Each structure stands twice: as C-alpha cells, then as structure tokens.
Amino acid sequence: MSQASSSHSLLKILLVENSRTARAVLMRMLESHGYQVDAVASGTEAISAILESNYGLVIMDVFLPQMNGYEAAQNIRALGSNKANIPLIAFTSSTSERDKKICLDAGMNEYVIKSDDNQELLAVLEKYKKQQANNQQAS
C-alpha cells in the first residue's frame, strides 16, 4: 500500500446529508478520492453514529431534519469524551456570513459552501488528513 493511500485510510469520514441524491453523489466522490465514508441523514443519527464508531472527521449539512447541524454540533461538543473534539465541517449551500458565524459559534471547525466540483471541501479534507497523519506519526 502506498504512503498516499495509507494516509487516506487514516481519515474515516461521517457524512451527514439529508438529501439522498446529494448523499450518494458525495459518498461516491469521497470514496473516489480514497476516503472511507459512512453516511446518515440527520443530526440525531450523526450523534448516534459518532458514539458507535470512530471517525476522523464529520461533514455536516446545516439544514437537517429532526436536529439541524447547529444543534448537532453543540450536542457533539457536549459529549463527555474525546469524541467531543472531532473536527466538524459545515457543508452548506448558504453563503450568508450570519449562517457562517452561527456554525462556527456552534462548534464547527470549518464552513464550506457546496459547489459543483467541491474543490474547497477536498482541500479542507486534505488539510485534516495531513494533520491526522502528522499526529499519528508523533505518537
């Protein structure tokens, strides 16, 4: 296994997206870039998944049923374990600075606006992949 593919495998991603079509497209794109991806459709499902498995990062739509992304982020940050520190990426179509501030205030680490090519998302994932690989090499 090459260094590049092994570093990709370090970053297991939880994708939280309520649109079935968007979820399928994003999963395919992320998997084609070598990431391991699980997906759920709501904030409440995200919290359950985080408690049940170990993820390196969460990509979360903001506008979700049952519990929106802001509330889910706050609940994840309130978990009483190291899982509370998981990187959270808000992934939304909103370009509003107000929405960005709400996301960051709720505990999201990044705010990425959805696009046709998702290059910004891929760049953010690359940053966290390198960060996680460096952390593992240091330990």
| CATH number of the domain where residue 68 is located | 3.40.50.2300
Closest by CA position to 125, among listed 81, 91, 102, 93: 91
* Cα–Cα distance list, 88 to 1, 122, 139 (Å): 28, 14, 23
Dist CA 68 CA 3 (whole Å): 37
User: 69 near 62, Cβ under 8 Å?
Assistant: yes
Q: What is the DSSP string of 31-71?
A: HHTT-EEEEESSHHHHHHHHHHS--SEEEE-SS-SSS-HHH
Q: Which domain holds residue 83?
A: 3-138
Q: Around Cβ 110, how many Cβ atoms within 10 Å?
A: 19
How many helices (H) and strands (E) are present in the chain, helices listed first? 6, 5
66 contacts 22 by C-beta, under 8 angstroms: no
Q: What are the structure tokens assigned to 106, written together?
A: 């709720």
What string of pLDDT tens digits covers the 139 residues of the chain? 333 444 444 689 999 999 999 999 999 999 999 999 999 999 999 999 999 999 999 999 999 988 999 999 999 999 988 999 999 999 999 999 999 999 999 999 999 999 999 999 999 999 999 888 787 777 6
Number of domains in the chain: 1
The pTM score is 0.89
